Structure 1
Amino acid sequence: MPMDTKTKIKDATKRLVVAQPFSSINVTTIMQQAGLRRQTFYDYYRDKYDVLGDIYSSEVAAAAHYCGHYQYWPQTVESIVAYFGTNRAFYQRVIQIDEQNAPEMVIQAHLRQMVADIFKTMGEAEQVLIDTSYCKFLKDLLGAALLSGIKEWLLADHPVSVKQETDYLQAYFQDGMNGFLLRARKINTREIG
C-alpha cells in the first residue's frame, strides 16, 4: 500500500525535527524531504506547527486505544509513556519549542481531556459524584502534572526506564484516584489494609 500524502509530510517532518533545529525547518524543507510539491502542503496543513500537532494526535490515538476510559487507564498510561519513549529524540526537541503555536499545547490539551474522561468514567463505574468544577480542576492539575512528568523524563540526562516511568505515573494517578474515592465514600482509612 503506497504511503498517503499526509503520512509522507508527517514522516518528513519527524525526520527533519530530529536532524536539525526547528527554526531552520520550513514548508519548503519539509516538502523537499517528502519529495512533494510545496503547494501540496497547504492542502493538508496551515503551518509546520499544525503538522506537529497532527503527528501527536494521530500517533498517540493509534498507540493508546482506550485513552480516556477509567477501566483501561493503566494501559493508557503505559501506552502513552511507551509512545514517548519510542519517539524520545523527536519529542525532546518538540517539547522545547517555545513559540506561539507550540505543539506542547496540543499535547497538554489531549492529556487534560484524557484525565477528564477518566474521572468522568470513574464516577460512573464507582458510582460517585464528581462535581463539574472539581473535575475541571482535576483535569487541569493532573493534565499539567502528567505533561510535566513526561517532559522531565524526556529531558533527563539519565532517564529511568520506560517501565519505571510508567510505574511512577501509574502510582501517582492511582494514589490520586484512591484518595478521591476514599473521600467521596467517606471511608475510614483504618478500614483499609
Structure 2
Amino acid sequence: MSECLKLHISQVFKDDVAKNGFNHVSVAKIMKQSGIRRQTFYENFKDKFDLLDYTIKSMMENDIESNIGYLDWEGIIFLVFYGIELNKKFYKSVYESQTEVDVVGEISSHIAVLLKQIIEEEGADFDQQAKDFVETFCLGLTYTMIDNLFRPHPLEYDVIASKVDNALHFTLNL
C-alpha cells in the first residue's frame, strides 16, 4: 500500500474517532469510509490499535521531525501544541478510551527527538543527564498537553507553548 493511501485511511480514522469516539469506530466502518477492501486494510494494519499507533506517529512526525531544519524549535513547539488543539477530540477519545497504545509515550518520544536536537545544537553533550532531562521533560510536557484537553477552561495552545519555550530557555540557558 502506498504511503498516501495509508495516510488517507489514517485521516478517515482520525475524523471518525473525533466525531464518534474511539470505542465506536470499527475496522469495517473505516474500510467502508476509506473505500478499501478488507484485505487492503489487513495487509497494512493488524487492527484499529495498529492504525491508532500509525496515526499518532504520522501526526507527530509531520509536526516535529519533518520540520527540523526548516523551522526553529520554538516554531515547532507551537506547531505541536496547535496540532494537539486542532485534534483535541481525537486525542481526548484515544487517551481515555483505550490502553493498548501509549498515547503519552508516543507523543513524548517525538518531542524527545526535538529536545535532543536542541541540546546538540547548543553544543552540549547528550550524556545520561541530558537523556534523563529529555525523558522527564517530555513526559511532563505531554501530560501537560493531555491534562489541558480535559480542563473545563483549557489554556490556548499558544499560551502553553510559550510556557514551554520559556521553560526550555530557562533550563538550557538559551
Normalization by structure 2: what TM-score?
A: 0.84
Contact 1:10–1:55 at 8 Å: present in 2 too?
A: yes
Partner of 1:168: 163
Normalization by structure 1: what TM-score?
A: 0.76
Structure 2 distance, partners of 1:35, 1:152, is 35
Q: Higher RCO, 1 or 2 (CA under 8 Å, sep at least 6)? A: 2
| Superposed displacement of residue 131, structure 1 | 5.6
Is there any run of 5+ residues in structure 2 with no aligned partner, and where? none
Secondary structure of 1:99's aligned partner:
coil
Do residues 48 (structure 1) and 48 (structure 2) align?
Answer: yes
Structure 1 distance, partners of 2:158, 2:150, is 17
Length, aligned pairs only: 170
Which region of structure 1 is more displaced relative to structure 2, 42-51 or 138-147?
A: 42-51
**Structure 2 counterpart of 1:87, one-letter code:** N
**Structure with the greater alpha carbon radius of gyration:** 1
* Cα 1:95/1:121, change in 2 over 3 Å: farther
Partner of 1:139: 134
Percent identity between the aligned chains? 21
Structure 1 distance, partners of 2:102, 2:144, is 18
Is there any run of 5+ residues in structure 1 with no aligned partner, and where? 182-193
Deviation digits for residues 18-66 of structure 1 (CA, Å, limit 9, x no counterpart): 1223233232222122222122112222221222222222233333443
Structure 2 distance, partners of 1:43, 1:162, is 37
Contact 2:18–2:90 at 8 Å: present in 1 too?
A: yes
Equivalent residues in 2 for 1:42-121 (5 A)? 42-64=42-64, 65-67=66-68, 72-121=72-121
Contact 2:53–2:101 at 8 Å: present in 1 too?
A: no
**Structure 1 counterpart of 2:133, one-letter code:** L
* Cα 1:121/1:18, change in 2 over 3 Å: same
**Structure 2 counterpart of 1:116, one-letter code:** K
